[in-house]
Structure 1
Amino acid sequence: MKKAEETQRSVVIGAGIAGLASAIRLVARGFHVDVYEANASPGGKMRQQFAQGYRFDMGPSIVTLPHLIDELFALHSKNPRDYFDYTLLEKPFKYFYEDGTVIQAYADTDRFSQEIANKTIDTPRRFRKYLKNIKRKYTITRPVFIERSIHRVKDILHHNVVLGLIRFSKIEAFKTMDRANRNHFKDPKLVKMFNNYATYVGANPFVAPATLNVIQHLEIGLGMYMPDRGIYSIVEALHRLAVEIGVTFHFNQKVDEILVENRKANGVIVQGRSIRYDTVVSNMDVYLTYKYLLPKVAGPKHVLSQPKSSSVIAFFWGMNRCFDDLNVHNLLFTEDQKEEFRSIYSDHKISKDPSLYLYISSKVVPSDAPVGKENWFVLITAPNNQGQDWKAMVAEARTTAIAKLSRMLGMPIETHIKYEDHIDPVSIEADLFSAFGSVYGNSSNSMFAAFLRHANFSRKVKNLYFVGGSAHPGAGIPMCLNSAKIMDQVLKQR
């Protein structure tokens, strides 16, 4: 551990995964760290719920690049396996289509390519060519902006960025995801499959740049993992580590304002008390940080005025039986994907035939459900909150989801639901402090969206930093972890 001659004090606002990672990194740099969290427990969007013998992960459910978690333990000479463990999912996804086709994805890309050849009109050669294409995108973008700041002059002049600019045409920023996928595949089923990855960042594949096809490489090329005790065990492990290394957590304590004097952040106001700190890190939604915590600081209009991403309606169902034909991760596709996204982004409603994502952690973590039963997390992509009648939309979404699941799985589903709860854009906005109930911060539908996220530091206020899904480099577990890593790099260099 690196010790400063005189210990400095840092405050992290929000105990989401990026806030936890930031606290752990700041301690390694010699800071005394306090974390203030408005809710009663850590995790932010990575929450869990217990009910009637079921446990539900209520937020992100897909883990890639687990080394980004492990390295936080290595910073403090700890063995991450003493805190949590994970396994590679050999069968990461099962895809269901309305015509009865079922495609099983495999971690072994040779098996996956053969499955594609057996179930579609495309060939293993086309699939391997596609994998090569998305791997190249990742190779180009990773050192340019996935793992480093892009908001300073010296960032732009870095040799990795210069090399990336030379190879810019290879990332297909001027094509949409849909167009690029259609160029690669003949079978609409595969186009639909790979278009769906846009939802991982709340984007529309018919508008968003094909650069985002890099997402597929994280899952297919590098592997999809499952923590042995569920997704929330990541939060528990990081929180335990943070406490052990001296981080102080203040739960149920909402920060009211960030103190700024002479264009320098020097503390926070919590429950009427002014508390001084040398460094302030906000893991709160960037838009809401400026709106509520920085009332006297003008935020960057070109960032804050960007359209927000989509949201979700998610149902948590305790099922009274097991379904052997389902995987941990399942996707039931819409018949008309273009109409689905048009409804979300143009009509600001859910289509009459939405795709459904079904996550069942009890397939891997048996204790997540009573014996002989399963915990279902059924997710539908939804527009963000613009004042719609969400009570009616949730009721309609539930009816639609049950009908679609019953039809495509060939059995009545509703009679097997013995417990249920849900979240929607209104509750996400209220409980998780996400602007407009958006799950992924600013929209990624522009070809320049990656460059229009807020930097991991403030240009106007010294010693103020930003991490999390609404800041650079974006949403999702690995990107949030990278936001903390980039913040740490910038802090070291300032």
Structure 2
Amino acid sequence: MKVYILGSGIGGMSCAAILANNGFEVTILEQNSYFGGKAHRISEQGFEFDTGPCLLTYPEWFDELFNTCGKNLKDYLNYKRLDPITRYFLENKEVDVASDINQTAINFENKLGLKKTFFLNYIKRWVSIYNISEKIFLLNELKFNFFFLKNAVEWIFKAGVVNIFTSMSYYNKVLRNKSVEKIMNRFATYTGSSPYQTPAFMNQLAVVEMVNGGYYPTGGIHSISKALYKLCNDVGVKFQFNHKIDNIEYENEIFKIYSNNEVFNSKYLVSNIDYYKTQLILNRKFNKRSLKLSTSAIVFYWGVKVKSPNLELHNIIFSEDYKNEFSQIFDYNIIPTDPTIYINITSKFDKNHAPINCENWFVMINTPANLNVVSNENIKKTKDFIISKINDKVGINLNNSILYEKILTPKSLENKTGSYNGSLYGDNQNSLLSIIKRKKNRDYKLKKLYYVGGTVHPGGGMPLALRSGLSVAKNIINET
């Protein structure tokens, strides 16, 4: 049976590999000349940059995918556990989140003054809640059956009803330590949301990185895309690049996919394109003004002639006013005046990612999902602020050290990846209702149309996009 998949992101390729390995004739139609979606690569002037996601979690899920296809992940991809995972710069302090949660607790006590036992008890609670969440929300399709209800009752009991209706930041006041509160609040950004609005039970997101660990794939995140692309080819998936989808029609139980003056027919259709972009291609109408989208981003890809011994692979320089940063993004729809800065430097692990005595800096701030928010003036203002803040907090002056620069904005993100309005994760999760209403993997009307990727269940990020692909492939296999 023929199946067409629209888009070659992590979700699309994982779904394609499983289906092809089970005898389906799978073709991926990709609008770009390359695969990987947001997990692509820039190679310019001797510098190599991952274009999007920077941290690998849940490597065992990638093992599961390759094993299901009768392959060994180690033949396609190598990765190592990070220690430290992330270095945080707060006021006049810096602290590392380590590979081991006990060491992180020691670091918090020594550097930030929070008692080790207090933090470990705090995180222990979220581990128990996360373990149930993984079972009912992440590893399985959401179905309101006995399995779901039984585990949901246990989940509510452990999470506490009050933590469903109070915010992450409000709950984290129990830590009574402003610096650690800020670190824990940051995990709301993993769903493109605000810690001052997302429910307190989303604190469990910290477990994924702080307890389960963060990893680095040899060669960078694009190596994951390359591994999936090779797997797809090995199991017989066909790719057709430079095929932007113009229109989709559904007639006589067949999808007609229009691209480049060609028509492709498919009984089943899987979209790895942003959910709202797919609705537009289907000629469906929706209330654009009512959308509550996740954050977008501005990314500066800087090739710099510096060495940074006091920076790690992953680094965070916090805003002085974290609450105001999210208010400016979600309430005022503007670029924050004092944004939190994320810096990723893969040349610390892969020396060939930068020329000698140079480094490749991926520098990102969060912005609203708004195509008109960026201008030449505020790009310059933001760049100047970032350079000044790095000089102040890290002691590195970049003013005359940037040899190469490329900039990603919400608009260019939409153009390259199809992300609606540049939103990184589709709908935000700033309320219980938005979490419950997250877009499902099966279309609400056309039951043989499926969605995979970071804008639908179970959520954003590479592992969850992969999980969506596995779930959809399983459903299609079971139906045929």
* TM-score higher than 0.5: yes
- The partner residue of 2:328 within 343, 350, 362 is 343
Provide the rounded CA distance (Å) in 1 between the counterparts of 2:396 and 2:53: 28
1:433 aligns with 2:426: no
Matches within 5 A, 1:237-276: 237-262=227-252, 264-276=253-265
Provide the rounded CA distance (Å) in 2 between the counterparts of 1:363 and 1:369: 9
Query: Which string of whole-angstrom CA distances, capped at 9 and with x for unpartnered residues, describes residues 155-182 of structure 1?
Result: 2113244222343143322121101211
Provide the rounded CA distance (Å) in 2 between the counterparts of 1:213 and 1:265: 43
1:75 aligns with 2:68: yes
- The partner residue of 2:276 within 284, 287, 294 is 287
Taking structure 1 as reference, are residues 105 and 267 closer, same or farther at Cα in structure 2, changes over 3 Å only?
same
Aligned equivalent of 2:118? 126
Provide the rounded CA distance (Å) in 2 between the counterparts of 1:211 and 1:457: 26
1:176 aligns with 2:164: no
Cα deviation, residue 467, structure 1:
0.5
Matches within 5 A, 1:394-433: 394-433=379-418
1:209 aligns with 2:199: yes
- The partner residue of 1:135 within 114, 122, 127 is 127
Cα deviation, residue 298, structure 1:
6.2
Aligned equivalent of 1:65? 58
Provide the rounded CA distance (Å) in 1 between the counterparts of 2:396 and 2:312: 17
Q: Which runs of 5+ in 2 are unaligned?
A: none
Provide the rounded CA distance (Å) in 2 between the counterparts of 1:40 and 1:276: 22
Provide the rounded CA distance (Å) in 1 between the counterparts of 2:363 and 2:34: 24
Question: Helix, strand or coil: the match of 2:432?
Answer: coil
Task: Name the stretch that deviates more: 104-113 or 325-334.
Answer: 104-113
1:227 aligns with 2:227: no
Cα deviation, residue 201, structure 1:
1.2
- The partner residue of 1:156 within 134, 139, 144 is 144
**Contact 1:308–1:443 under 8 Å retained in 2:** yes
Question: Helix, strand or coil: the match of 1:215?
Answer: helix
Cα deviation, residue 198, structure 1:
1.1
Provide the rounded CA distance (Å) in 1 between the counterparts of 2:448 and 2:457: 17
1:164 alignment partner AA: A
**Contact 2:65–2:470 under 8 Å retained in 1:** no
**Contact 2:100–2:211 under 8 Å retained in 1:** no
- The partner residue of 1:20 within 10, 13, 20 is 13
Provide the rounded CA distance (Å) in 2 between the counterparts of 1:158 and 1:470: 27
2:156 alignment partner AA: F
Cα deviation, residue 411, structure 1:
3.4
Q: Which runs of 5+ in 1 are unaligned?
A: 1-7
Query: Which string of whole-angstrom CA distances, capped at 9 and with x for unpartnered residues, describes residues 186-231 of structure 1?
Result: 1100000111111111100000112221211110110100001110
Provide the rounded CA distance (Å) in 1 between the counterparts of 2:355 and 2:333: 38
User: What is the TM-score of this pair, normalised by structure 2?
Assistant: 0.96
Question: Helix, strand or coil: the match of 2:246?
Answer: strand
Provide the rounded CA distance (Å) in 1 between the counterparts of 2:450 and 2:8: 15
Aligned equivalent of 1:4? none
Provide the rounded CA distance (Å) in 1 between the counterparts of 2:23 and 2:285: 31
**Contact 1:209–1:445 under 8 Å retained in 2:** yes
Provide the rounded CA distance (Å) in 1 between the counterparts of 2:254 and 2:54: 35
Provide the rounded CA distance (Å) in 2 between the counterparts of 1:474 and 1:161: 21
Taking structure 1 as reference, are residues 55 and 197 closer, same or farther at Cα in structure 2, changes over 3 Å only?
same
Cα deviation, residue 307, structure 1:
0.9
1:455 aligns with 2:444: no
2:258 alignment partner AA: I
Question: Helix, strand or coil: the match of 1:281?
Answer: strand
Provide the rounded CA distance (Å) in 2 between the counterparts of 1:169 and 1:381: 34
Q: Which runs of 4+ in 1 moved over 4 A?
A: none
Query: Which string of whole-angstrom CA distances, capped at 9 and with x for unpartnered residues, describes residues 257-290 of structure 1?
Result: 223014x343422222222222110000110101
**Contact 1:149–1:490 under 8 Å retained in 2:** no
Provide the rounded CA distance (Å) in 2 between the counterparts of 1:166 and 1:388: 43
Provide the rounded CA distance (Å) in 1 between the counterparts of 2:360 and 2:157: 44
**Contact 1:121–1:186 under 8 Å retained in 2:** no
- The partner residue of 1:480 within 460, 465, 469 is 465
2:166 alignment partner AA: K
Aligned equivalent of 1:89? 82
Provide the rounded CA distance (Å) in 1 between the counterparts of 2:170 and 2:354: 42
User: What is the TM-score of this pair, normalised by structure 1?
Assistant: 0.93
Aligned equivalent of 2:153? 165
Provide the rounded CA distance (Å) in 2 between the counterparts of 1:451 and 1:42: 31
Question: Helix, strand or coil: the match of 2:114?
Answer: coil
Provide the rounded CA distance (Å) in 1 between the counterparts of 2:168 and 2:83: 26
Aligned equivalent of 1:3? none
Question: Helix, strand or coil: the match of 1:280?
Answer: strand
Provide the rounded CA distance (Å) in 2 between the counterparts of 1:116 and 1:280: 49
Query: Which string of whole-angstrom CA distances, capped at 9 and with x for unpartnered residues, describes residues 342-362 of structure 1?
Result: 111111112221110000011
1:490 aligns with 2:475: yes
Matches within 5 A, 1:362-377: 362-377=347-362
- The partner residue of 1:467 within 449, 452, 462 is 452
**Contact 1:143–1:160 under 8 Å retained in 2:** no
Cα deviation, residue 305, structure 1:
4.6
1:218 alignment partner AA: V
Question: Helix, strand or coil: the match of 2:131?
Answer: helix
**Contact 1:113–1:124 under 8 Å retained in 2:** yes
Cα deviation, residue 412, structure 1:
1.7
**Contact 1:287–1:304 under 8 Å retained in 2:** no
Provide the rounded CA distance (Å) in 2 between the counterparts of 1:29 and 1:83: 20
**Contact 1:97–1:333 under 8 Å retained in 2:** yes
Task: Name the stretch that deviates more: 17-26 or 303-312.
Answer: 303-312
Give the paired residue count. 476
Query: Which string of whole-angstrom CA distances, capped at 9 and with x for unpartnered residues, describes residues 335-379 of structure 1?
Result: 111111111111111222111000001111111111221100010
2:63 alignment partner AA: D
Taking structure 1 as reference, are residues 305 and 265 closer, same or farther at Cα in structure 2, changes over 3 Å only?
farther
Question: Helix, strand or coil: the match of 1:96?
Answer: strand
1:165 alignment partner AA: V
Cα deviation, residue 489, structure 1:
3.1
